[in-house]
Amino acid sequence: MIPVVIPPDLWEGDAEGAVSAWLFAEGDAVRAGDLIAEVMVEKTSYDVTAPADGMLQIRIPAEIPFKRGAIIAAIG
Amino acid sequence: MTATATILPNRAKRNLTIAKAMAEALAQEMRRDPSVLVMGEDIAALGGVFGNTRGLLEEFGPARIRDTPISETGFIGAAVGMAAVGMRPVVELMFVDFFGVCMDAIYNMAAKNCYFSGGQSAVPMVLMTSVGGGYGDAGQHSQCLYGTFAHLPGMKVVVPSNAYDAKGLMVSAIRDNNPVIFMFHKALQGMGWLGTVQGSINDVPEDAYTVPFGQAAIARAGRDITIVGLGATVHLALDAAEELIANGIEAEVVDLRSLVPLDRATVNASVKRTGRLLVVDEDYQSYGVSGEIIASVVEAGTVLTSPPRRIAFPDIPIPFSPTLERPALPSAEKIVAAVTDMVRGGR
């Protein structure tokens, strides 16, 4: 199981981010490098890519806030 | 002599939001054609408040990706002039609700100059504009106004419901020599803060392709009733169709995709098969899209087994309060109730 981690240095301070859109559904097969989610922090958007090939397991659904460093999904 | 076969791997599925699909279409057309440029409020440094011009400033620079002052009168008028001298401007009217101050440039100039000049002066511009409510932004930031633009001759009007169509319709819009109004619904942009309809995110080929205007899509096949929608209401209709299965009702969902030109043939053919018609529109009810669709079917002489119906926004300013706004909007629940009544009640 490979975690999809929001890098702790992606943004500064205590601001919370949220997935604005999951681009694949729970259980979908993804390939390393596929764009799997878009994360919004205030007015900035970041692209999240799959770290490995495998099946996507979403840990934090869209629009639920999290801090930087959070594990938002796992690839298994 | 041996031939070496080139075997391409199957293309990986690539899901995009409508926002990204629009940005990709713009970027690809700008690479292909140096006369294409984009102007609007906050479209450059910010990448568009709805995300649809993200990354363009970095690639194409401030001469072709231009942030404008807050004067739709000025920059949309300028776009009409640019189009007249051979450029292909794409301008963003951030909220369609702001059309009042720039409508003369749109409907008296852009829409009519080709006709007035006997075809000598085309106006190849695209006006992209956000529509729709449902997130408590009140009466000046939540309207659809599909009917307002589709009513006036001289412009093409398109409304994508998913990322695949958004990219293909945008490429078609930029290549078209007529003014095209590209109306994108905020709830389908994938921006999170506006809510994100999962069904709008779908597989988008990387290469440029066109989705031709005037071709509606059958979003779901069914035999008992035709539900016609556009933009966000397509997804409400699809949700309702899924629920209706439990009631033993198979609904067909037609996605108009383009209002001008309008694919009356596909709608008529569908209603001919099902015998029933429900139109779901988030624009105001009276004098609009829903009435036009119903009239088209009735005029074609299609035999209906129950009177046609529509679910649209009531003829009132859109309330700010979510408690007041929500019940006024079309919803899957309203569609399920109407369809069940039409099919079971025979009315």
This model of the complex carries an ipTM of: 0.81
Residue B10, pLDDT score: 53
CB contact under 8 A, A23 and B54: no
- The stretch A39-54 carries a mean pLDDT of 89
Residue A13, pLDDT score: 85
Residue A41 pLDDT > 60, yes or no? yes
CB contact under 8 A, A23 and B196: no
Residue B2 pLDDT > 50, yes or no? no
Residue B13, pLDDT score: 76
Question: What is the CATH classification number for the domain harbouring A53?
Answer: 2.40.50.100
The helix/strand/coil state of B26 is helix
User: Which chain B residue has its CA at the smallest distance from A64's CA?
Assistant: B192
Residue B6 pLDDT > 90, yes or no? no
Contacts of A22 in chain B (CB under 8 A): 198
Q: Rounded to the nearest 5 degrees, what angle is found at the Cα of B49, between the Cα atoms of B48 and B50?
A: 85
Are the CB atoms for B302 and B274 separated by under 8 Å?
A: no
* A21 touches B at CB < 8 Å: yes
Higher pLDDT, A46 or B244: B244
Which DSSP helix (H) or strand (E) runs through A3? strand A2-5
Which of B12, B54, B191 is facing A20, going by the closest CB pair? B191
Residue A14 pLDDT > 60, yes or no? yes
The helix/strand/coil state of B150 is helix
Suggest the residue from A38, A66, A72 to mutate for an interface test with chain B (most B CBs closer than 10 A): A38
Residue with tokens 């006036």: B152
- The stretch B305-318 carries a mean pLDDT of 97
Catalytic positions of B, written as ranges: 72, 141
Phi, psi of B61 (to 5 degrees): 80, 170
CB contact under 8 A, A20 and B190: yes
Residue A12, pLDDT score: 85
Residues of B engaging A, defined by a Cβ cutoff of 8 Å = 12-17, 20, 46-47, 51, 54, 190-193, 195-196, 198, 201
- The 10s digit of each residue's pLDDT in B42-84 is 999 999 999 999 999 999 999 999 999 999 999 999 999 999 9
Residue A43, pLDDT score: 75
Task: Report chain B's mean pLDDT, rounded to a whole number.
Answer: 95
Residue B229 pLDDT > 50, yes or no? yes
Contacts of B198 in chain A (CB under 8 A): 22, 25
How many angstroms separate the Cα of B68 from the Cα of each of A73, B94, B173? Answer: 40, 11, 22
| Structure confidence at residue B346 as a pLDDT band (50, 70, 90) | low
> Could you tell me the residue range of the domain that residue A39 belongs to?
2-75
Instruction: Give the contacts of B119 (CB within 8 A, at least 6 positions apart).
Output: none
Note the helical H segments in B159-308.
163-175, 232-244, 264-274, 289-299
| Structure confidence at residue A18 as a pLDDT band (50, 70, 90) | very high
What pTM value is reported for the model?
Answer: 0.93
- The 10s digit of each residue's pLDDT in B317-330 is 999 999 999 999 99
| Structure confidence at residue B1 as a pLDDT band (50, 70, 90) | very low
User: Which chain A residue has its CA at the smallest distance from B45's CA?
Assistant: A44
- The stretch B301-328 carries a mean pLDDT of 97
| Structure confidence at residue B29 as a pLDDT band (50, 70, 90) | very high
| Structure confidence at residue B347 as a pLDDT band (50, 70, 90) | low
Q: Record the tokens describing residue A72, joined without a space.
A: 């938002």
Residue B85 pLDDT > 90, yes or no? yes
Contacts of A45 in chain B (CB under 8 A): 47, 51, 54
User: Which chain A residue has its CA at the smallest distance from B203's CA?
Assistant: A23
Query: Structural domains in chain B?
Result: 15-203 (3.40.50.970), 217-345 (3.40.50.920)
Domain total of chain A: 1
Residue B194 pLDDT > 80, yes or no? no
Burial B23-62 (b: 16+ CB within 10 A, else e): bbbbbbbbeeeebbbbbbbbbbeebbbbbbbbebbeebee
